[in-house]
Amino acid sequence: MIDLRSDTVTKPSPAMRAFMIEAEVGDDGYGEDPTVSALERRVAALTGFEAGLFVASGTMGNQVALRTLTQPGDPVIVSARAHLLQFEAGASAKNSSIQLLAVDDRHGYPDPDQVADLVRQYRRLHNPIRLIAVENTHMPSGGVPIDQTVMNAIIEAADGTPIYIDGARLWNAAVALDVTPAGLCQGAIAVSTCLSKGLAAPMGSVLSGSQEFIERARIERARLGGRLRQAGIMAAGGLYALDHNMSRLADDHRRARSLAASIKTQLPSATADVLGVRTNIVLLKVQEPHQYLARLHEHGVLCNVLPAGDVRLVTHYDLDDRAIELAASRILASL
Ligand SMILES: *Cc1c(COP(=O)(O)O)cnc(C)c1O
């Protein structure tokens, strides 16, 4: 079975496991786990912020950030197909009681004109937009990385409204654009980055921001039941991943392009958007996507269908060139 469902399906390598076992640990609830603290400092530095907070998942990173940066009833702008809106089981409504306002994201980022309009409108209503969330890379448009030029347009449209980055795949964006993660976070108030996607660690995300933000986020994490103890074992997986698996994200991107290209060359009618492949995600438009998914499964390929109907194929650490070639032939055989 070739698993293209997500870059979350990877298993920790033997070397990563060995490194995790050796981790120095303590009670992080008392701030005494040196490995967790090292990971938090490391990710904060990489993203250009003062401090970091290790959380159990990307969803928890987003939810802690929203609880820290908003009050119940606040309007918050998100892109229409954002993870925050589509894939967190309504958590933003339940945990923060905020009003999410969806803006067009067909180009892979929240449309700056719509953002500017909403910011103005809500100020006139004396109910100003509290936060704007930007997903980088933007998964539903095929993993589009948002560069500093687009970020600047969004920052200008925001007109002083704080911007939060859901950077579950920020590392992919930085590698694809050949810029630093910190460069992509300039002008943002906070960012959440995943260790358990392309970096192939077994668990965790780090939320980064100012010292003051992280102190308040730590309380919100506790309120969600996310205060951790000897979590250094898991944090060590993250540290190992940052040291060893960052530059290889370019291999995932190359393999996604080659997967899209072989589908396209052998089947010109397929609407795999070869040029559109920017990182590690290939979107395929087919008739009856759910039936296609079942046929693919019979041919030994696992993948997902997005709510909009696109078949999503994600390359990752556990798939080499051979697996991608094999996947391409099975994908064509199932069409
Ligand atoms: C995967 C993902 C998350 C959530 O991460 P989990 O660890 O699965 O909770 C959040 N945002 C984006 C953009 C993601 O791709």
11-52 tens-digit pLDDT? 999 999 999 999 999 999 999 999 999 999 999 999 999 999
**pLDDT for 321 beyond 60:** yes
How far is Cα 62 from Cα 142, in angstroms, rounded to an integer? 21
Residues of the chain with CATH 3.40.640.10: 14-244
Which residue of 84, 165, 166 sits with most ligand 1 atoms within 8 Å of its CB, as the best mutation to test the pocket?
A: 166
Residue 263 in this model has a pLDDT that exceeds 90 = no
Strand ranges, E, within the chain: 2-3, 51-55, 75-79, 99-103, 131-135, 163-167, 190-194, 205-209, 281-284, 301-302, 304-305, 311-314
Residue 139 Cβ contacting ligand 1 at under 6 Å: yes
Evaluated on CA atoms 278, 282, 287, 290, the torsion sign reads negative
Confidence band (pLDDT; 50, 70, 90) for 270? low
Mean pLDDT score of the chain? 96
**Mind listing the pLDDT tens digit for each residue in 133-184?**
999 999 999 999 999 999 999 999 999 999 999 999 999 999 999 999 999 9
- pLDDT at res. 320: 98
Question: Helix (H, G, I), strand (E, B), or coil: what is residue 202?
Answer: coil
Tokens of 79: 């892109």
Residues of the chain with CATH 3.90.1150.10: 248-334
CATH fold of 14-244, please? Answer: Aspartate Aminotransferase; domain 2 (3.40.640)
- The distance from CA 196 to its chain's CA centroid, rounded to whole angstroms, is 10
In this structure, which residue's CA is closest to atom 10 in ligand 1? Answer: 58
The pLDDT score that the predictor gives to residue 271 is: 62
Characterize the bridge pairing of strands 75-79 and 2-3. unpaired
59 three-class SS: helix
Q: Exposed/middle/buried for 106, CB within 10 Å: 0-12, 13-18, 19+? A: exposed
SS3 101: strand
pLDDT of residue 285: 86
Write down the CATH superfamily of domain 248-334.
Aspartate Aminotransferase, domain 1 (3.90.1150.10)
pLDDT at 188: 98
Task: Answer yes or no: are the C-beta atoms of 253 and 172 closer than 8 Å.
Answer: yes
| DSSP code, position 144 | B
Question: What would you report as the CA-atom Rg of the chain, rounded to the nearest whole angstrom?
Answer: 20
The predicted pLDDT at position 267 comes to 72
DSSP at 199? T
Ligand 1 center to 128 CA (angstroms): 27
**Each residue's pLDDT tens digit, 189-222:** 999 999 999 999 999 999 999 999 999 999 999 9
* pLDDT greater than 90 at residue 78: yes
Residue nearest (by alpha carbon) to ligand 1 atom 4: 58
pLDDT in tens, 92-130: 999 999 999 999 999 999 999 999 999 999 999 999 999
pLDDT band at residue 272 under the 50/70/90 scheme: low
Q: Determine what percent of the chain is predicted with pLDDT higher than 70.
A: 98
Residue 269 — very low, low, confident or very high, per pLDDT cuts 50/70/90?
low
3-state secondary structure of 311: strand
CB 138 within 8 A of CB 170: no
